[in-house]
Amino acid sequence: MRRLTDPLWLTAPAVLFLIAMSVGPLFYSIWLVLHDWTIMTRLAPPFVGLANFSTLFGDSRFWMALLRTLLFVAVTVGAQLLLGLIIALLLNRDDIIGTRLLRTLAIIPIMVTPVVVGYIFRLLFHPSAGPVNHLLETIGFGAAPWTSSSQWALPTVMLVDIWQWTPFMALILLAGLQSVPQEQIEAATLDGANRFQSFIHIVLPSLAGVIAIGLVLRSIDAFKLFDTLFIITGGGPGTASEMLSYYTYLTGFSFMRLSYAASMAWVQLIVIMILAQIFIRRVLFRRDAA
């Protein structure tokens, strides 16, 4: 007979809550994928097995959206890492005036709700009333078709994402930089290493863990991008900026094809898990092994 103070009883409510809130929907999504849920069939959705996945494999719009999403993740997270690292190195220097203020200001873009960011940039990039085009025309460049051209739409959304999330990457890299052992750098300097060599052989390896965490967090987040895309381009023109999250949203909530949308969500989950595993194994485990 277990007593009420046993750990099992004490943790049971939390465990049950966790099961209900996370595992429950997961199983429901599996059930959805295996059935054909629509408005008309909602009371008794027919079992369709893996038909939703076979439809998915023939859906060129889905695959194009996936490719666009992977491109978006690669470009935005890559740029955020590079720019974030440069900013972090600058903010880490004590000989530059105002670094404390800059660190505080850097948080602002992260704190703004993505929907608000979307509306701000939609207005900024407005073809005729937007201040960005006005500025470009004033200084002698022509107006750019930020959101109205299929060549520009996706890079515009990338630009906004880079603007918003580079500070995040900079801040976590800055935290990593401040924990780099100074003794090693000083010892390397005494042994004749220049600043670049110290950076490559001491600073960068020390940052590997932080970089991996930053890459994983940002990649997962970028993969799921929805709000700013929804507001700025709405996936257009055509499907030029349509990414997986937006297509899934349309399918599930605009076309009410919940089963098919659930199969898309599962593919997204698998891709994100693979991406996360790559980052974690390649960077974190390699570092631990070293």
Q: Which residues bind another protein (CB under 8 A)?
A: 38-40, 42, 126-129, 133, 143, 145-150, 230, 233-240, 250, 253-257
Locus of tokens 């960068």:
204
Residues 6+ apart with CB under 8 A from 278: none
The distance of closest approach from Cβ of residue 92 to another protein in the complex, given in angstroms and rounded to an integer, is 41
Q: How far is the CB of 257 from another protein (least distance, A)?
A: 8
Q: In this complex, which beta carbon is closest to another protein, that of residue 168 or of residue 247?
A: 247
Residue entry with tokens 């698998």: 270
DSSP 47: B
Return d(Cα 68, Cα 143) in angstroms, integer: 26
- Which is closer to another protein, CB of 192 or CB of 238? 238
Closer of 69 and 133 to another protein (Cβ): 133
Which tokens is 10 given? 């004490």
* Closer residue to another protein (CB): 42 or 195: 42
CB of 263 to another protein, least distance (A): 14
Residue 149 phi, psi dihedral angles, 5° rounding: -115, 140
Provide, rounded to whole angstroms, the least separation between the CB of residue 151 and another protein.
Answer: 9
> Least distance to another protein from the beta carbon of 144, Å?
9
Supply the minimum distance, in Å, between the C-beta of residue 28 and another protein: 13
Distance CA 108, CA 175 (A): 17
Cβ-in-10-Å burial (0-12, 13-18, 19+) of 126 comes to middle
Inter-residue contact 143 to 133 (CB < 8 Å): yes
Nearer to another protein, 88 or 153 (CB): 153
Cα separation, 136 vs 134, whole angstroms: 5
Which pair of tokens denotes residue 153?
């739409």
Cβ closer to another protein: 109 or 127? 127
Looking at the Cβ atoms of 48 and 276, the one nearer to another protein is 48
Burial 85-120 (b: 16+ CB within 10 A, else e): bebbeebbeeeeeeeeeebeebeeeeeeebeebbee
State in angstroms the smallest separation of the CB of 256 from another protein. 6
